[in-house]
Chain A
């Protein structure tokens, strides 16, 4: 985390998906101070917030069926989801950023999934992992919810039955790209944003 961030109203409108820029490239010499050089980075607030959020996603592992086994494999040594900053599986929804719905959502369980989703603090994202969570999969039956997107908004769908851990990692990277394009400040701190 850099020590100082320069807030600019115009720059908050749209995150351009760029990472933190070193001051030497774009900033005028006025801002130069040898004492704090190296500790200050100029960037856009959205870019900084999105960068921090997307590289530290704490998943809520909603493992409901065999997809959960692949989810476990993704966090183990061979695939190592921590390379993408998402290794901190939180079993408390209060501490989670992204819910990975891995498996068949029965109507009975759907009530619980919705409740846990509601308990997660904003900002939050959802990955529907596998065919069942995305669309009901092969379970065309009275007992199964035909896709978790009927209850909660889904950001990334992952195909497969079950998807391999690589597919989950790819979905996670897709979600990171999506987060990098969000207007974090404008969306979530609208009042603060307008008062600046």
Chain B
């Protein structure tokens, strides 16, 4: 019985989708059951190692954010990926830092960069930017060059001069000259919006 089958029988309503690709199992679950499932995985299935927590911004879609948990079982040598979604309005999800202490800093990073709050997190402060910085820089609608902010006596930030940049590479099978990084305007979100309005 695979781990996805185990979870599907234990949490029939919470498991939305299971997907397997090259021995990597990905399970999409409901955010409300995240803690129950994580507790089950840790205590019953020996997933004692939380490798990473990452967050994805599907800008223009609803629900906007996705939180991804990478788990590993030392005992069985199995890798498991949990995915769940967070809406932009609520923008919060339960913490798992009491189950895996390493989640503490991962969740702080997701909070800092993406603005997702983790409920009952013991110490939900920013981890990379400073306390009081008003933005969440890894959101898709945040410009690469940054925004102006000011905390008198503490810190400030100014937009970086991009000079026509950022210099980005687009995937292509052209020659080296075509492939080399070229300046594209950072604030240009038209391409993003076009793709996000597609079904």
Contacts and interface: CB of A to CB of B under 8 A. Distances in A.
Contact of A142 (B142, B161, B165): B142
A111 B161 contact: no
Contact of A140 (B130, B135, B155, B165): B165
B166 interface: yes
B105 to A, nearest CB: 14
Contact of B155 (A107, A136, A146): A107
A141 interface: yes
Contact of A146 (B129, B130, B142, B160): B160
A142 B133 CA distance: 12
Contacts of B146: 141-143
B129 A108 contact: yes
Given A140-B161, A146-B160, A111 B166 contact: no
A86 interface: no
Nearest to A138: B167
Contacts of A179: none
Interface string A137-163: 001111110100000000000000000
A107 B137 CA distance: 13
B155 A142 contact: no
Contacts of A111: 130, 154-155
Interface in B141-157: 142-147, 154-155, 157
B128 interface: yes
Nearest to A151: B156
Contact of A108 (B130, B147, B165): B130
B178 interface: no
A111 B156 CA distance: 10
Contacts of B159: 142
B160 A140 contact: yes
B163 interface: yes
28 contacts: A107-B155, A108-B128, A108-B129, A110-B155, A111-B130, A111-B154, A111-B155, A139-B160, A140-B162, A140-B165, A140-B166, A141-B144, A141-B146, A141-B160, A142-B135, A142-B137, A142-B144, A142-B145, A142-B146, A142-B147, A142-B157, A142-B159, A143-B128, A143-B129, A143-B137, A146-B158, A146-B160, A146-B161
Interface of A: 107-108, 110-111, 136, 139-144, 146
Top 8 closest pairs, chain A to chain B, by CB? A142-B146, A140-B160, A142-B137, A140-B162, A146-B160, A140-B165, A141-B160, A107-B157
